[in-house]
Amino acid sequence: MSLTILTSKYGDDATGRSLGWCKFKYMLAQTLALTSYYTICLTAIDQFFSTNYQFRLRQMCTIKLAQYVTFISICIWIAHSILSGWFFDIQGSLGCVVSNPIWQQYISSFFYPVLIGLLPIAILLLFSLLAFHNVRRIVRRQIPIVRRRLDQQLTAMVLMRAVIAACFISPYIIYRTYITKFPVSQNQSMQYAITRLIQAVCLSLVNIHFSASFYIFLILSSRFRRQVKFLLVKKYWQRLKYLCHLHNNQINPENAETFGTDMELA
């Protein structure tokens, strides 16, 4: 919302005027992007281990281990983003760009194409397919039907999540790789406007990628639909009715003992 206000007022998001905001914006964006992408990868890896036919591998997947791995992953990406933000600078008409040539080569050759692009998509697809293979082998094992169905639904959700990520993130990765190697000056008004339009379309696809997961899960999983219905109808709607005083008035019977005592006194 704040970026939209800045863009509407000044024609851009102010990264070309404030060095501190220039660095902080890209630090925050990289931290959130890397954390979200690789957390999704960790869910696919967890699904693979939790559906594995070897008991030792299934036993490794605990909530405590997941918390430790997620925390370490977040710390690594925060450190990486701080280091990356250090090399951003404001350069005339180019605006907020990477000023260090070595880091620019790293960003264009490894960060966008591999670290945000091919690597998380490959991890997602690989472990989702392996988990899907594990679920197919579950049929031949003595496992309760309810557990089997839950594993099948969750694996289908993770696999579909990987396909969505590959389709909706790839255009933005290609755009960022190109624009980092060949930045467009604001003085080239037509080319600059075209690149901003492409950026807006690619960012919209990334936003759709995050929001579409909810609807895909809603379609694929009956259990997820029941949980959503329970939360929206049974829990939050009842709480909203209580806050808005929409609950029905209740009439309680008068205490018989008190009524009899009053009659005797009369």
Identify the pLDDT of residue 148. 64
Structure tokens at 249: 């008035």
Residue 1 is predicted with a pLDDT of 45
Mean pLDDT, the chain cut into blocks of 10 residues (266 residues total): 49 66 87 89 86 78 87 94 88 76 87 87 86 71 63 72 81 83 77 84 83 76 77 75 62 51 44
Q: What is the pLDDT of residue 259?
A: 47
Distance of alpha carbon 18 from alpha carbon 208, whole angstroms: 30
Pick from 77, 84, 111: which is nearest to 100 by CA? 84
Q: State whether residue 91 is helix, strand or coil.
A: strand
At 186 the pLDDT is 72
- Give the global pTM: 0.68
**Can you give the pLDDT at residue 263?**
44
Question: Which secondary-structure segment (H or E) carries 76?
Answer: helix 63-86
Helix (H, G, I), strand (E, B) or coil at 57: helix
Q: Which of 39, 126, 34 is nearest to 82 (CA)?
A: 34
**Distance between CA atoms of residues 170 and 197, nearest Å:** 17
**pLDDT for residue 142:** 56
Structural domains of the chain, with CATH: 2-220 (1.20.1070.10)
In the prediction, which pLDDT does 71 show? Answer: 95
Q: Which two tokens stand for residue 146?
A: 């309810």
